[in-house]
Amino acid sequence: MTFFRGQPELVERFRAGDTSVLTEVYLAYIGPLQNVLRQGFAVQADARSFHIAGIADPMEVEAACQEVFMRAFKSSARQAYDPARSYANYLFRIARNWRIDAFRKRRPEVSFDAAPVLGAEVEDEAPLVEARMIDAEVEALVADYLAGLPARDRDYFQGRLFGGRTQTEAAAALGLTRIQGRRIEARVKTGLLAWLRAHGHSPAVSRAGRPEEEVE
Amino acid sequence: MSCEPHWLARIDAALVGEHGGALYAEARAHAEGCAACAATWRAACGHLAALERRPGRLPEAVEAAVLGRVLDALSASGDLAPAPNAEVVPVPAKVTAPSPPSSRRRAGAVGSMVGAAAVASITFIALRTPPETAHPGPSEGFQARGGETPRAGFQVFCVEPRGASGEPVVRSSGASGLAAPLQCDASGRLQFTYSVPQDLAQAGDTAVHLFATGPEGQVVWYWPRAGQVTPVEAGGRNVPLPGSFDVGALHGAGRWRITGVFSYTLGDRETLDALARSGGEAAVAAWAARSGAPVEGAGLWMDIDPTARRTGGAE
């Protein structure tokens, strides 16, 4: 991704800590960062390769995203960023270093000094067949739920989900204010959660996050 | 494995974006320590990802909450740019002057999310160019992205007499008008400033109107005050509007939207109130536009936590 390319003024505002630019950076990279955190990566130390496992638990992913962006958005990290280079790589390196730090604390016997990160080429394990079946069932139930919504609510979500519109845009397309769109969105989402629970998708049968682990 | 039913509703509300700030943090903290609710939280994240067509990603509301916490913590630690001319805002006599951000600890700021009562992000309705006036280019006013367009706008400050560290805290919506969240305790007081580039104001009769719409459609007015109009100072930048407003006393629980509109008509509160109650911000914006003032959306979101401490008193 080339967020800052050809935009020196944007880089200046980023380094100065302009919250509107930080917000844009966050929105641009929060998705890719989650992929990196979930995927895990390989690292070499003491002539051995280690796999730092990905994070699957959404609560841990949330905490990890917060930690990584806290580090990446600190003034010292903003000043250290070289705009000639990819910000994605810069951010992901921060994420990997943070994960390595955590690993190092649990494996003090392994020397990670100047350990090269081999990249994220180590794939996370494939989801279990059971989990894939549950995912497919949830998707089918979500489709059923959306089909049963009142026309206005369904149209709003069509705009949001398939039209790539913001809340304001999706609401405006239906002649609604953003606050009305927001209410629709909250109501529909809350209804979906109740719908799925009513159809047997309680937490006990839903796909749980795999525990974090490090494997050599 | 089960928990009290009300937690289920609160977790759902947090994950669909109905609860920000303190209420989100409270639900999240409970889920951390409750096996049943942690499972509910994880499952709901997966379900919402399916609905939002973002498999493997956190729900939008969770991503927004993370951003809020990050910016709040960085702001509290002095790691962000200060709000432009924030020092010109007079602190109400009842409130002790704020200490520099650097005196607050980052860890304390992150922890203060649990106690924070209001989260807001600001954009604004603003004049862009006056009728029959050529655009002169950048000036003293707010700059749109790219730095080309001078803009009028509002800035909102939440002044907390005592923050998490026991010191006074002033939080600002920022001048950019984007989605940076504003943290504000229910015990805090709201203050407003406005900026109107000289070339965007219509001499003598440009006015500012600020109000909030509650979750049930209730309306709270900040400016103009009853029986008054509120003309603005052309060319003013970060001009403070006098007085402040008690967050807890004026706003009930739930999500509020603060809207600001400039117009070339000196509207009275009664007229505008009727418009706001019947048609919300769109009706007020349309009224302003009819005065000849071009407008652009939108408003400021604020979550009020009814359980937070209140200092009492009104405007």
Q: Do A19 and B56 touch (CB under 8 A)?
A: no
Q: Does A140 touch chain B (CB under 8 A)?
A: no
Q: Do A193 and B44 touch (CB under 8 A)?
A: yes
* Residue ranges per structural domain of chain A: 8-119, 129-205
pLDDT, tens only, A47-97: 677 777 888 889 999 999 999 999 999 999 999 998 888 898 899 889 988
Q: Which of A108-117, B113-122, B123-132 has the highest mean pLDDT?
A: A108-117
Q: Does A161 touch chain B (CB under 8 A)?
A: yes
Residues paired with B21 in a beta bridge: none
A-chain CB neighbours of B107 within 8 Å are none
Phi, psi (deg, nearest 5) at residue B205: -140, 40
The structure tokens listed for B262 are 């400039």
The structure tokens listed for B15 are 């994950």
A-chain CB neighbours of B213 within 8 Å are 179
Q: Does A79 touch chain B (CB under 8 A)?
A: no
- Same domain (yes/no): B266, B192: yes
pTM exceeds 0.90:
no
Question: Does residue B226 sit within a domain?
Answer: yes
Q: Do B47 and A138 touch (CB under 8 A)?
A: yes
From B16, B28, B66, residue closest to A186, measured CB to CB: B16
- Same domain (yes/no): B186, B120: yes
Interface residue of B8, B11, B24, B47 to substitute, partner A, most A CBs within 10 Å? B47
In 10 A of CB B31, how many CB atoms? 24
Please give the tally of structural domains in chain B: 2
| Residue-wise DSSP of B155-201 | EEEEEESS-TTSS-EEEE--SS-SS-EEEE-TT-EEEEEEE--GGGS
Answer yes or no: are the C-beta atoms of A59 and B32 closer than 8 Å.
yes
By residue range, what is the domain housing residue B171? 76-304
Q: Is B301 exposed, middle or buried (0-12, 13-18, 19+ CB in 10 A)?
A: buried
Mean pLDDT for the stretch of residues B304-315: 37
- Same domain (yes/no): B246, B130: yes
> Who wins on pLDDT, A133 or B185?
B185
Sequence-ordered strand ranges (E) for A101-190 = 117-119
| CATH code of the domain occupying A129-205 | 1.10.10.10
A-chain CB neighbours of B40 within 8 Å are 203
> Who wins on pLDDT, A199 or B162?
A199
Per-residue confidence (pLDDT) for residue B165, from 0 to 100? 59
Indicate the CATH number of A8-119 among 3.10.105.10, 2.70.50.60, 1.20.1050.10, 1.10.1740.10: 1.10.1740.10
- Please enumerate, as own/partner, the contacts of A71-77 that have beta carbons within 8 Å and a separation of 24 or more: A71/A98, A73/A17, A73/A22, A73/A25, A73/B70, A73/B71, A73/B74, A73/B79, A74/B74, A74/B79, A75/A17, A75/B79
| Dihedral sign, Cα of residue B128, residue B130, residue B134, residue B138 | negative
B-chain CB neighbours of A191 within 8 Å are none
SS3 B309: coil
d(CA A79, CA A77): 5
All residues at 6 or more sequence positions from B27 whose CB lies less than 8 Å from its CB, including other chains: B7, B10, B11, B13, B14, B19
From B42, B47, B50, residue closest to A208, measured CB to CB: B42
Q: Does A138 touch chain B (CB under 8 A)?
A: yes
pLDDT, tens only, B46-80: 888 888 877 778 998 999 899 988 988 888 888 88
Per-residue confidence (pLDDT) for residue A60, from 0 to 100? 92
> Residue A169 above 80 pLDDT?
yes
Question: Does residue B253 sit within a domain?
Answer: yes
d(CA A7, CA B10): 42
| Dihedral sign, Cα of residue B97, residue B100, residue B105, residue B111 | positive
Q: Do A26 and B79 touch (CB under 8 A)?
A: no
Chain A residue whose CA is closest to B16: A186
pLDDT, tens only, B227-238: 666 677 766 777
A-chain CB neighbours of B69 within 8 Å are 66
Mean pLDDT for the stretch of residues A103-110: 66
Q: Does A144 touch chain B (CB under 8 A)?
A: no
Shortest CA gap A50–chain B (Å): 24
Shortest CA gap A5–chain B (Å): 14
In this prediction the ipTM stands at 0.81
Question: Does residue B66 sit within a domain?
Answer: no
d(CA B97, CA B157): 13
